[in-house]
Amino acid sequence: MKKNITIFALFSLIAFSSLAQEFRGLDKSPMDRSYLPDHFAHDRKFAPERKLGEAPIIRVDYSRPQKKGREVFGGLVKLNEVWRLGANEATEIKVYKDINIGGKALKMGTYSMFAIPTKDNWIIIFSSDLDYWGHYSYNKDHDVLRVETPVIENTELVEEFSIQFKGLEEGKAVMYIAWDMVRVELAVSY
């Protein structure tokens, strides 16, 4: 019996150590999630009116690259080219009911988000393609919606790429997308 326990312990140690060696390191650009309404998944004190089981209006999953002293727009992110809107996997947005974003209709569903940034404006793209890394497989034929929005200069540096929502009044909000000294805003109505 003692021999069996020793063999089992030795086998478990070998199996665990080889498994542990297969794990890759942490992503340099961690994932984040934004909701409309903001704080949707957080503590009840932020959303006391929310009922249990109630869905948010929008959820966005994205990775947050950092500036780290680099030139972002026109350097790290090429101007006039499709960009994954963050890092790592393509940013995904889940819309839980039909909405208007940037003044255009977007049906309930899940989409990848991309951008074509320029110096003066960005085109935000909603695509039916899902579950792939980056923007390298981007296919314009799968675009569901494109919205153009002007670039706004930030008053303070945004070190980590960020997407956030701010409710304005019942049925209206703004989606903020910001990094470095740049942000764009998309009006959302639902």
Domain assignments of the chain as residue spans, ordered by start:
26-189
Residues 182, 120: Cα–Cα separation, whole Å: 10
What length does the chain have?
190
Instruction: Note the pLDDT tens digit of each residue in 3-55.
Output: 555 555 555 555 555 555 677 777 778 788 999 987 676 655 555 555 655 77
Residue 12 confidence (pLDDT):
54
- Model confidence, pTM: 0.81
Residue 52 confidence (pLDDT):
59
For the chain, which residues score pLDDT lower than 50? none
Residue 93 confidence (pLDDT):
98
Cα distances (Å, whole numbers) of residue 18 to 5, 9, 21, 25, 154: 20, 14, 5, 15, 48
List beta partners, residue 133. 89
| Residue 56 neighbours by CB under 8 Å, 6+ apart | 35, 36, 37, 40, 41, 96
DSSP of the chain:
-HHHHHHHHHHHHHHHHHHHHT-----SS-EEEEEESTTTTS-GGG-TTPPTT---SEEEEEE--B-TT--TBTTTBPTTS-B-SSSSBPEEEEESS-EEETTEEE-SEEEEEEEEE-SSEEEEEEES--S-BTTTT--GGGEEEEEEEE-EEEEEEEEEEEEEEEEEETTEEEEEEEEEEEEEEEEEE-
Q: What are phi and psi of 67, to 5 degrees?
A: -65, -50
Residue 40 confidence (pLDDT):
73
Single-letter amino acid, residue 6: T
